[in-house]
């Protein structure tokens, strides 16, 4: 098989890249090792920055998002038994975020690609990428035990943190920067209407908690837990009890309980590789970087990367110039590091660290007090949360 761009991974990065390239008349093939049903039901992120929403709407994949997405213009920071609203609309000139589940984004993009005659090949095995240091890279894989090969001009490694593209790059090319946090998130999805119209980030002396939502009927809740926590140790009753404790306010705010339909533990990590490219192989999204979910940035960063990559590829086919391609990594990394900084900052402000001493606890409280009482500090949080401008 021959195409212009071979894309490994049908997550938000791979599918959005394929969609953007198609709109510019460039052919691509996406291969994915999981089934279509699996990727369309995988519950992960759910907060879309304004720029991500605009991109989806402008490129014709935003109809359902506009219909069922929940637009929020603020979040609450809760500490010492009180809630403090950060008003995004006021602080950013009307901007906001939209709650729309990642698997819905994946569904919309997959539907759009297939409806346009695009190729998204699911359930492939034994994927390898080769010869990306030259002009004729190729991807090999198996479907139903038959070997297949895609010859292409470029390969996009959009295969997530555990994918094969990044590890295939020869030793010595990439430098990895990493911070693993000494805690994880225990997340549940509960069949109950959200207890608040907006997200609540709680810093409690027992640990962090987050109240979020996926729809008017589905609440997403997270608790900070030990990194090696066993999910079996957390029956539903224990989870609700701990959530009630961490969200408790002096004015007796009430958290509604519902049937827990999903439970899981997510590790917390900050990770970046530099550069995000090697010859004609370009890494995008989680394949190149991971952020702790506190800032709700993973999906948005993946979309921002492929927007830069799509433009560089389009420019190459239009003019023959590799200038934007050569600068792909540099362009993305400026935004990536700013988003890393924000995600790390939110994480360190809101979580309990085991080595927190009394000084650190007071410093954390002072930081929250500052962010919720200074317009300048609140504005900085708001500007980052709704999304920094896309790099041009």
Ligand X SMILES: Cc1cc2nc3c(=O)[nH]c(=O)nc-3n(C[C@H](O)[C@H](O)[C@H](O)COP(=O)(O)OP(=O)(O)OC[C@H]3O[C@@H](n4cnc5c(N)ncnc54)[C@H](O)[C@@H]3O)c2cc1C
Residues 15/299, Cβ–Cβ less than 8 Å: no
Please, which residues have CB within 8 angstroms of residue 378's CB and are 6 or more apart in sequence? 86, 87, 91, 371, 372
Binders of ligand X among residues 317 to 336 (CB under 6 A) are none
Question: Whole-angstrom Cα distance, residue 246 to residue 317?
Answer: 54
Given 141, 181, 201, 222, the catalytic residue: 201
Q: Which stretch binds ligand X (CB under 6 A): 49-57, 285-293, 319-327, 353-361?
A: 285-293
Binders of ligand X among residues 71 to 110 (CB under 6 A) are 102
State the DSSP string of 99-114.
E--HHHHHHHHHHHHH
Which CB atom, from 140 or from 244, has the smaller least distance to ligand X? 140
Residue 45 in the binding site for ligand X (CB under 6 A): yes
Strands 74-79 vs 199-204: parallel, antiparallel or unpaired? parallel
Strands 70-72 vs 119-121: parallel, antiparallel or unpaired? unpaired
> In the structure encoding, which two tokens stand for residue 390, read together?
């896309």
Active-site annotation holds for 19: no
Question: Whole-angstrom Cα distance, residue 234 to residue 230?
Answer: 8
Least distance between ligand X and beta carbon 345 (Å): 15
Q: Which stretch binds ligand X (CB under 6 A): 29-37, 243-251, 307-315, 331-339?
A: 29-37
Least distance between ligand X and beta carbon 139 (Å): 9
Residue 242 in the binding site for ligand X (CB under 6 A): no
Question: Whole-angstrom Cα distance, residue 347 to residue 184?
Answer: 11
Angle formed at CA 127 by CA 291 and CA 165, multiple of 5 degrees? 35
Binding residue for ligand X, selected from 297, 307, 311, 335, defined by CB under 6 A = 297
Active-site annotation holds for 72: yes
Active-site annotation holds for 194: no
Q: Which stretch binds ligand X (CB under 6 A): 53-61, 90-98, 196-204, 289-297?
A: 289-297
Residues 266/293, Cβ–Cβ less than 8 Å: yes
Binding residue for ligand X, selected from 4, 168, 249, 266, defined by CB under 6 A = 266
Strands 119-121 vs 28-31: parallel, antiparallel or unpaired? parallel
Residue 163 in the binding site for ligand X (CB under 6 A): yes
The site that binds ligand X (CB under 6 A) totals a number of residues, namely: 32
Which CB atom, from 11 or from 118, has the smaller least distance to ligand X? 11
Question: Whole-angstrom Cα distance, residue 56 to residue 306?
Answer: 13
Helix (H) or strand (E) holding 344: helix 328-350
Of 209, 172, 180, 167, the C-alpha closest to 77 is 209
Residue 346 in the binding site for ligand X (CB under 6 A): no
Least distance between ligand X and beta carbon 8 (Å): 5
Of 213, 202, 205, the C-alpha closest to 71 is 213
Least distance between ligand X and beta carbon 292 (Å): 9
Given 19, 293, 328, 351, the catalytic residue: 293
Least distance between ligand X and beta carbon 177 (Å): 17
Strands (E), 9-46: 28-31
Q: Which stretch binds ligand X (CB under 6 A): 10-18, 190-198, 240-248, 270-278?
A: 10-18
The site map against ligand X for 106-145 (x = CB under 6 A) is ------------------x--x------------------
Given 12, 19, 22, 72, the catalytic residue: 72
Q: Which residues bind ligand X (CB under 6 A)?
A: 8-14, 31-34, 39, 44-46, 102, 124, 127, 158-160, 163-164, 266, 285-286, 293, 296-299, 302
Active site residues: 72, 201, 293, 297, 385
């Amino acid at each position: 098989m021959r195409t212009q761009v071979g894309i490994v991974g049908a997550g938000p990065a791979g599918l959005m890249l394929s969609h953007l390239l198609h709109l510019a008349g460039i052919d691509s093939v996406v291969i994915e090792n999981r089934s279509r049903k699996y990727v369309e039901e995988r519950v992960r992120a759910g907060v879309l920055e304004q720029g991500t929403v605009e991109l989806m709407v402008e490129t014709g994949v935003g109809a359902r998002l506009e219909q069922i997405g929940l637009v929020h213009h603020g979040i609450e920071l809760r500490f010492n038994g009180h809630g403090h609203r950060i008003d995004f609309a006021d602080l950013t000139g009307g901007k906001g975020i939209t709650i729309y589940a990642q698997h819905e984004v994946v569904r919309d993009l997959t539907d759009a690609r297939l409806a346009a005659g695009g190729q998204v090949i699911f359930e492939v095995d034994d994927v390898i990428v080769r010869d990306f240091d030259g002009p004729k890279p190729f991807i090999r894989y198996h479907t139903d035990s038959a070997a297949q090969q895609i010859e292409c001009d470029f390969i996009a490694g959009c295969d997530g943190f555990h994918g094969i593209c990044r590890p295939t790059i020869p030793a010595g090319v990439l430098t990895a920067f990493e911070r693993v946090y000494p805690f994880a998130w225990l997340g549940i999805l509960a069949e109950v209407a959200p207890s608040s119209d907006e997200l609540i980030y709680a810093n409690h002396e027992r640990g962090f908690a987050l109240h979020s939502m996926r729809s008017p009927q589905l609440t997403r809740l997270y608790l900070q837990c030990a990194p090696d926590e066993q999910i079996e140790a957390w029956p539903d009753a224990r989870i609700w009890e701990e959530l009630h404790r961490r969200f408790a306010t002096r004015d007796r705010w009430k958290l509604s309980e519902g049937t827990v339909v999903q439970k899981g533990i997510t590790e917390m990590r900050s990770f970046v590789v530099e550069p995000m490219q090697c010859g004609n192989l370009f890494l995008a999204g989680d394949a190149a970087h991971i952020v702790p979910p506190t800032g709700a940035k993973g999906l948005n960063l993946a979309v921002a990367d492929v927007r830069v990559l799509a433009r560089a590829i389009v420019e190459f086919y239009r003019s023959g110039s590799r200038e934007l391609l050569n600068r792909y990594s540099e362009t993305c990394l400026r935004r990536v590091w700013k988003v890393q900084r924000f995600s790390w900052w939110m994480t360190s402000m809101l979580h309990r660290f085991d080595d927190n001493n009394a000084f650190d606890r007071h410093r954390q409280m002072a930081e929250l007090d500052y962010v919720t009482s200074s317009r300048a500090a609140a504005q900085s949080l708001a500007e980052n949360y709704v999304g920094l401008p896309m790099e041009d």
